[in-house]
Amino acid sequence: MPLLDAAKGLACAVIVGHHLSRYGPMPAGALSLAPDFLGWLASDGRLAVQIFLVIAGFLAAASLAPDGLLRIDRPLVRIFQRYGRLVMPYLAALTVCVLVAAAVRPWLDAELVPASPSIGQLLAHGLLLQDLLGYEALSTGVWYVAIDFQLFALALTLIGLPALLAPQADQLARPGEAARRRWLAVALVLGVAVASLALFNRESELDDTAFYFFGAYGLGMLVFWIGRATRASTWQSAIALLLLLGTGALALEWRSRIATALVTALLIAVAQRRQWLSPPRWPLAAVALQRLGRMSYSLFLIHFPVLLAVNAAVVRLGPHAPWIDGLGMLATFGLSIAAAALLYRWVETRPASWRAVAALFAGLLISGIVVSH
Average confidence (pLDDT) per 10 residues, the chain, 373 residues:
92 96 93 93 95 96 89 87 96 97 92 93 97 94 95 95 66 66 90 96 95 97 92 93 95 96 96 85 78 95 97 88 94 97 96 94 96 85
Supply the pLDDT for residue 173: 56
pLDDT at 182: 84
Identify the pLDDT of residue 70: 84
pTM, two decimals, is 0.93
pLDDT of residue 174: 64
Q: What is the pLDDT of residue 53?
A: 97
Supply the pLDDT for residue 179: 78
pLDDT of residue 111: 86
Q: Determine the Cα–Cα distance for residues 69 and 88; give it in Å rounded to an integer.
A: 29
147 Cβ contact partners less than 8 Å away, ≥ 6 residues apart: 209, 210, 213
Collect contacts of 61-67 with beta carbons under 8 A, ≥24 apart.
Answer: 61/155, 61/220, 61/221, 61/222, 61/224, 61/225, 62/224, 64/155, 64/156, 64/159, 65/159, 65/185, 66/224, 66/228, 67/182, 67/228
Phi, psi of 150 (to 5 degrees): -60, -40
What pLDDT was estimated at residue 189?
95
